[in-house]
Amino acid sequence: MRRWVPPPDAAETKSATLMSSFARPKRARQLRALDALTAVKVAAAVPSQLGIGTRTRGAIMPPSRLPGALRRSLGNAAWLLAGGGGAALLALAATALAARTLGGEEFGVLALVHAGTLVIAAVFRFNAGPVLIRYGSSAVARRDGASLVALLLAVGIADLAGALAALAAAAASVALLVPALDWPEPAVALARWYFPTVALLLSATPLALLRLLGCFHLAAWHRLVLPAVRLVGTLVVVAAGGGLAAVAGVWLSSHLLETATAWWWALVALKRADLLAWPRRPWAHGLRPPRGLWRALFALNLSGTLGLLSSRAVVVAVGSLLDPLAAGRLQLAMQVAGGLERLTETFRRALEPELAALHRQSDRRRLSRLVRRASLGLLAATSPLLPLALLAGAPLLEVLAGPEFGEAADVLALLVLRQWLAGAALAAPPLLVLCDRAGTLLWTVALARLVQLALVLPLLPAIGLLAAGIAGLAGGLVETVWLLATLLRLLGRG
């Protein structure tokens, strides 16, 4: 094993350069060759010191320095899938336990109020993950901790402003919107103190930072926090004989612990990576972020808001136009189908650092190959879920929550088909952000949600709960086709 040669200091480098300029030509060539050999040895030793290529916790792993982007993405996705699989099982167990404990009516009230809370959060909460990776990857590659912390300050200002606006919107919704929707009295009473939970939903930014730093193991463990707290808390409520208010309090506490844990682990990862450097004039850096950051933040925020019309906002519409029991059925079907959605999102998040590295290098050939293999592999791996959802949907829902929830089996099959089709455009959202075209993503989502909303509102009174599945599939198909066409145009240029 070769012994590592330490890099020369600045004085030695300057001295060698001056000598080479005044020495004879042959001696100058020898000095330049010696300097080049020293640089190669230093470059070969630096990765092992930084933890590149090892499994050291908190190590920076610049994707551009390692071969096999898809292999690394699969390794990162394995961490997230391990956490996501455990989180999905815990979430299903917690949801099923809450449904059996409260019954159809009270669980429908909880699902209705919780969905309304998430709608408010999606309207005012900034989804800064893709933007943080877009602008922070170069700072991590340069090991510029001050620039990275300045970027976090800018995103933190946006998160704080969104939380304050969400609190104001929650108060206005309880006073004006909830009475206009004619919610039942238990739902109105619960919304008065549950809606302020929106200020606690601020974990997207620290989780994106963990992925940017290569700490996928911490991001995986974090996914277990919220469902584990809900499951354990609901078990305590069952043992104590509590009701709707106690279960809702457990769900509220889970959001608080989720956000606190995410920020704590993100700061620990920054410290271990030696990137926790306070910039000069921090507030000036926070108020003057990189060019295009605010535009991308607002575009992603609006697209996420419109995206909830296919999930949380439809639950509110079903509960308002039909009954709370129908809202509970739809919530459970979405929870089961959301497993495939979370799987797709997991692969997308694992791909984001690799896509950012290849985009920074302008390596279009490797980028196209990575996108193609990742999308086709995801579609092939998840295709067995389609017949499984069609044949075993009703028994699964009945086992999870009781016989009264089996009527949502058709909706479950349609939602699973929609999420499977979305895998074809797996890499489109992060690539649009990397190409400074987040506005295209916004208009695509807006078109898809307009189609969905135009179908779900008139069909709900006519065909009942099945309208939610049909409208969701139609909107998802429009979004997938448009994003896939845009992705092919981006990869085909140049």
Q: Kindly report, residue by residue over 418-439, the tens digit of the pLDDT.
A: 999 999 988 888 889 888 888 8
Residue 141 has pLDDT above 50, yes or no: yes
User: Amino acid letter at 163?
Assistant: A
| pLDDT tens digits, 30-86 | 444 444 444 333 333 333 333 333 333 333 444 444 447 778 888 888 888 888 788
> Distance between CA atoms of 222 and 254, rounded to whole angstroms?
12
Can you state the angle between helices 324-361 and 204-212, rounded to 10 degrees?
30
CB contact set of 211 (below 8 Å; sequence gap of 6+): 76, 129, 133, 219, 349, 350, 352, 353
Q: Is the pLDDT of residue 403 over 50?
A: yes
CA distance 166 to 294: 18
Out of 123-127, 283-287, 444-448, the most confident range is 444-448
Cα separation of 297 and 301, whole Å? 6
The dihedral formed by the CA atoms of 212, 216, 222 and 228, expressed in degrees to the nearest 10:
150
Inform me whether the pLDDT recorded for 301 exceeds 50.
yes
| pLDDT at res. 49 | 33
What is the C-alpha radius of gyration for the chain, rounded to an integer number of angstroms?
Answer: 25
Q: Per-residue pLDDT for 481 more than 90?
A: yes
Place of tokens 């605010």: 294
For residue 355, pLDDT over 70 is answered with: yes
Q: Kindly indicate the confidence band of residue 165, based on its pLDDT and cuts at 50, 70 and 90.
A: confident
Q: What is the pLDDT of residues 311-330, one digit of tens each?
A: 767 887 888 888 888 888 88
Q: Smallest Cα–Cα separation from 487: which of 419, 439, 441?
A: 441
Amino acid identity, position 197: T
Q: Which two tokens stand for residue 56?
A: 């050291």
- Report the SS3 class of residue 463: helix
Q: Decide if pLDDT at 393 tops 70.
A: yes
Query: Chain-wide mean pLDDT for the chain?
Result: 78
Short-list 319, 335, 369, 359, CA closest to 71: 369
Identity of the amino acid at 288: R
pLDDT at 6 over 90: no
Q: What are the residues whose beta carbons fall under 8 Å from the beta carbon of 418, sequence distance 6 or more? A: 337, 472, 473, 476, 477
Give residue limits of the domains in the chain: 86-290, 306-494
Q: Check residue 283 and give its pLDDT.
A: 55
Q: Could you tell me which residues come within 8 angstroms of residue 132 by beta carbon, excluding any fewer than 6 positions away?
A: 151, 152, 155, 205, 208, 209, 212
Residue 484 in this model has a pLDDT that exceeds 60: yes
**Structure confidence at residue 421 (pLDDT):** 92
pLDDT of residue 345: 84
| Residue 403 DSSP label | G
Residue 436, phi-psi category: left (phi > 0), alpha (psi -120 to 50), beta (remainder): left
